Amino acid sequence: MLKATLEQWRMFKAVVDAGGFNQAAQAVHKSQSSVHHAVQKLEHALGIELFENEGRKVRLTPAGELMLRRAGFLLDEAQKLEAVAQSLQSGVETQLRVAVDIVFPSEILYRVLSRVSEEFPLLRIEIMETVLNGANDLLEHGKVDIAISPFALNHGFSEDLCEIDFMLVAHPTHSLHQLKRPLTVEDLKSHRQIVVRDSSSERKAESGWLGAEQRWTVSHVRTSIDMIRRGLGYAWLPVALIQHELEHQCVAPLPLAQGGVRRILLNLGFEDGDKLGPAARTFIGELRYQAMQMPGAERV
């Protein structure tokens, strides 16, 4: 039989998070005496001291620091358990939130969304377009249910989804094309590169930046494509998004001495599969199927 209750662990963590018993009482809307009593009962049940006085403040003992790490995991799991129960109780979810990196082929996404909407016509779907770490950032902060990202999750579930080819391009009249020879990195550094800003608020990545002295940073790949069409620089762009521009010679591949095409792996991620409802599971299943239909999918 357990010696401590979940509520006692919650009061213990509340004191740590709030910085004291009085602040914790305000945060959890209880009296200070009830919070203090819960922590005292927890210490008595465990036979250890969790806090020690430091003037008017309290701080964790070494044993308390160890218990805090375990308590955080315990409370997180309890919260997840309740979320699973809520999902089971409500049946089909009413909303699905998906973070999608902007390089993911839009036609694939539209087919997946169409299929999900056919099966769940009342489902509200929110798509958040992200760059680099942005999708995983939203997922880890609980703002979306599913993420499609060029980076694997540090925790939760993550799997290889598909590969996206990038090509280094510029307008056909760009001065780099006028050199009429294989280009080196030094050639590229002396010209303006257009890069897309990482949409994450915490982790910033600069995928594909070649160290150009001149760099223009934009928020969306479509802006980058428009700038390249106008001869304002060069950029790494997803091949699937510039097919029209390539066919109409609005942009042209730069003749690099090596590495003119880069291949980026996109990942499918979510925090806890047990918390996903039927609509989310249908979305994931259709997404996997459509990704397998992409050219070169057998490589993933």
Average pLDDT over residues 172-197: 92
Query: Is 250 within a domain?
Result: yes
Give the whole-number percent of the chain exceeding pLDDT 70: 91
Q: Which domain holds residue 52?
A: 6-90
Average pLDDT over residues 169-182: 95
Q: Which of 40, 74, 90 is the last residue of a domain?
A: 90
Residue 59 belongs to domain with CATH number:
1.10.10.10
Domain count, the chain: 3
Instruction: Please report, for residues 10, 130, 296, the alpha-carbon distance to residue 234 in angstroms, rounded to integers and kept in the order given.
Output: 54, 21, 26
What does the pLDDT read at residue 299? 41
**Digit-coded pLDDT (tens) for 40-87:** 999 999 999 999 888 778 889 999 999 998 898 888 888 877 766 765
Residue 209 belongs to domain with CATH number:
3.40.190.290
> Residue 268 in contact with residue 142, Cβ under 8 Å?
no
Q: In this structure, are 60 and 185 located in the same domain? A: no
Of 146 and 123, the one with more pLDDT = 146
Q: In this structure, are 158 and 272 located in the same domain? A: yes
Q: In this structure, are 68 and 116 located in the same domain? A: no
Tell me the pLDDT of the chain averaged across its residues: 89
Lowest mean pLDDT across 63-77, 78-92, 94-108, 164-178: 78-92
What does the pLDDT read at residue 297? 54
Q: In this structure, are 141 and 197 located in the same domain? A: no
Average pLDDT over residues 104-116: 95
- 21 vs 127: CA distance, rounded Å: 42
Q: In this structure, are 255 and 168 located in the same domain? A: yes
Q: In this structure, are 155 and 189 located in the same domain? A: no
Query: Is 1 within a domain?
Result: no
Instruction: Please report, for residues 157, 168, 220, 243, the alpha-carbon distance to residue 91 in angstroms, rounded to integers and kept in the order given.
Output: 22, 47, 37, 42
Q: In this structure, are 107 and 78 located in the same domain? A: no
Instruction: Please report, for residues 45, 69, 204, the alpha-carbon distance to residue 76 in angstroms, rounded to integers and kept in the order given.
Output: 22, 11, 27
